[in-house]
C-alpha cells in the first residue's frame, strides 16, 4: 500500500497512457467481447433483468398518474381529433392502400416462411446516454450472430453488434452510429439510417443521402433493404422502420435527409425477435 502511495502519480500516468493505446487498438471494433465482459454480463443478467422490468413498471405508473392530471385537456384534444378523423374518411381509399402496404410489411414473416425468428428479452440498456445499445438475453449458444437484424413485433429495432455465449448487444436505430442501409418504400430511394442524439426520450432517427430529386414525402414509409450483405448473416429487406415526419436538404452534399418517427416504441421495449435464418 505504501509503495502504491509513493508511486501513485507515476502509476496513474502510466495507466492513462496504456488505456489511451488500448483505445486506439479497440477503436475500430463495434463490439467489445472478452472473458471479463462475458462473465460480468452473464453474472449480472438476472439482477439486471429484474431491475429493468421494475424500472419499466415504475415508469408506467408515473405515466399513468401524469395522464390523470391532463385528462380533461386530453379529452378535448381527442374530440377535436375525432372531428379531424371524420373528415379524413374521405381519403378512405388512400388509407386502404396504405393499410395494405403496412400489412404486407408487418407480416413479412408470413410471406417469408423460411425466416427463423428467435425471441429474446431486453435485460438492460448499456452505453449510458452516449449510445443506444440494448443487452438481450440470447447469444451465440442460441444461434445469434453478429450483424443479424432485430425486430419487435411491428418494426425494426436494430442490428446485433456483439455476441457472447448467453447474451448479445443490439445497436438500435436511435444510435448515431447505427449506419444501416434503408429505403423509402414508395420511391425505392436508398439512404443511410442513423439515430439522432437527443436528451429528450422521444428520440427519432433519420435517413440521409437521399437523392436531391427524391419524390419521398411526409408520411411515406421507410423500410430496410438488403442492398449490402454483412458477413454470413441474413439481411432481411422490407422490415418497417418508421414514417417520414419531415424532409430537409443537406446543403454541403446536395442530398436530402428525411426524419423518421420509428415504428417501434423504444420506451416500452421488453421483448424482441432476432432474425437468425
Partner 1 sequence: MKRVLTFILISIFILIMQQSFLSGLKINFLALDATLAFIACSSLLLDEVESFIVALVTGLIVDSFSPYVFGVNSIIYISISYLFTLVQKKIYKERTLILILLNVLAVILKYLIIFGSYYIVSIKIDFIKIIKDVVPFEMFSNIIFAIFLFNFLKKVVNIAFLQKEWKF
Binding partner 1 (rule: CB under 8 A), the pick from 82, 92, 114, 200 is 200
User: Does 197 participate in binding partner 1 (rule CB under 8 A)?
Assistant: yes
**DSSP code per residue over 61-127:** HHHHHHHHHTHHHHHHHHHHHHHHHHHHGGGHHHHHHHHHHHHHHHTHHHH-TT--EEEEEEEEEES
CB nearer to partner 1: give 1 or 82: 1
As a whole number of angstroms, the longest Cα–Cα distance in the chain is 82
Interaction between residue 69 and partner 1 (CB under 8 A): no
Q: According to CB under 8 A, which one of 151, 152, 160, 161 is a site residue for partner 1?
A: 161
Which residues, numbered 206-245, are part of the site for partner 1 (CB under 8 A)? Answer: none
Cell matching residue 265 = 416504441
Among 42, 104, 118, 176, binds partner 1 (CB under 8 A): 176
Q: Which of 9, 87, 89, 90 binds partner 1 (CB under 8 A)?
A: 9
* Continuous segment of H or E residues that includes residue 21: helix 8-26
Does position 124 interact with partner 1 (CB under 8 A)? The reply is yes
> Which residue from 239, 257, 95, 124 is spatially nearest to 189, judged by alpha carbons?
257
- Residue from 177, 188, 229, 246 binding partner 1 (CB under 8 A): 177
CA–CA separation, 207 and 188 (whole Å) = 13
Q: Does 16 bind partner 1 (CB under 8 A)?
A: yes
Q: Virtual CA dihedral for 209, 214, 216, 218, nearest 10 degrees?
A: 80
Site membership for partner 1, residue 36 (CB under 8 A): yes
Does position 12 interact with partner 1 (CB under 8 A)? The reply is yes
List C-alpha distances in Å: 75 to 86, 88, 193, 276.
Answer: 17, 20, 36, 44
Between residues 82 and 128, which has the closer beta carbon with respect to partner 1? 128
**Binding test (CB under 8 A) with partner 1, winner from 128, 213, 228, 254:** 128
Choice between 130 and 212, CB closer to partner 1: 130
Outline where DSSP puts E strands in 91-239: 117-126, 133-136, 149-151, 156-163, 168-172, 180-184, 190-195, 205-210, 221-224
Should residue 129 be labelled a site residue for partner 1 when binding is judged by CB under 8 A?
yes
Q: Which residues contact 242 (CB under 8 A, 6 or more apart)?
A: 155, 205, 221, 222, 260, 261, 262, 263, 264
In whole angstroms, what is the distance from residue 229 CA to residue 231 CA?
6
Q: Is 14 in the site for partner 1 (CB under 8 A)?
A: no
49 binding partner 1? (CB under 8 A): yes
Q: Which helix (H) or strand (E) holds 52?
A: helix 35-69
- Is residue 55 close enough to count as binding partner 1 by CB under 8 A? yes
Minimal distance, residue 137 CB to partner 1, in Å: 12
- Give the interface with partner 1 as residue ranges (CB under 8 A): 1, 4-5, 8-9, 11-12, 15-16, 18-20, 22-24, 26-27, 29-32, 34, 36-37, 40-41, 44, 47-56, 58-59, 62-63, 123-131, 133, 135, 161-162, 169, 171, 176-177, 197-202, 267
Amino acid at each position: 500500500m505504501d509503495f502504491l502511495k509513493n508511486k501513485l502519480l507515476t502509476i496513474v500516468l502510466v495507466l492513462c497512457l496504456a488505456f489511451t493505446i488500448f483505445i486506439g487498438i479497440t477503436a475500430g471494433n463495434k463490439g467489445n467481447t472478452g472473458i471479463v465482459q462475458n462473465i460480468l454480463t452473464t453474472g449480472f443478467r438476472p439482477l439486471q433483468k429484474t431491475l429493468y422490468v421494475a424500472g419499466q413498471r415504475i415508469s408506467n405508473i408515473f405515466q399513468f398518474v401524469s395522464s390523470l392530471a391532463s385528462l380533461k385537456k386530453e379529452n378535448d384534444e381527442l374530440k377535436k381529433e375525432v372531428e379531424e378523423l371524420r373528415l379524413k374518411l374521405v381519403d378512405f381509399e388512400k388509407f386502404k392502400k396504405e393499410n395494405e402496404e403496412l400489412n404486407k410489411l408487418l407480416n413479412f414473416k408470413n410471406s417469408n416462411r423460411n425466416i427463423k425468428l428467435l425471441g429474446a428479452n431486453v435485460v438492460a440498456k448499456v452505453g449510458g446516454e452516449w449510445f443506444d445499445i440494448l443487452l438481450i438475453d440470447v447469444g451465440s449458444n442460441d444461434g445469434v450472430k453478429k450483424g443479424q437484424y432485430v425486430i419487435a413485433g411491428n418494426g425494426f429495432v436494430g442490428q446485433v453488434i456483439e455476441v457472447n455465449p448467453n447474451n448479445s448487444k443490439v445497436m438500435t436505430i436511435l444510435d448515431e452510429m447505427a449506419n444501416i442501409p434503408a429505403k423509402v418504400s414508395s420511391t425505392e430511394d436508398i439512404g443511410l439510417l442513423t439515430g439522432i442524439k437527443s436528451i429528450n426520450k422521444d428520440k427519432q432517427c433519420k435517413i440521409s443521402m437521399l437523392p436531391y430529386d427524391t419524390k419521398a414525402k411526409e408520411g411515406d414509409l421507410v423500410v430496410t433493404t438488403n442492398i449490402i450483405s454483412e458477413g454470413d448473416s441474413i439481411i432481411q429487406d422490407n422490415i418497417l422502420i418508421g414514417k417520414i415526419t419531415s424532409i430537409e436538404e443537406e446543403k454541403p452534399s446536395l442530398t436530402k435527409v428525411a426524419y423518421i418517427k420509428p415504428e417501434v416504441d423504444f420506451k416500452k421495449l421488453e421483448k424482441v425477435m432476432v432474425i437468425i435464418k
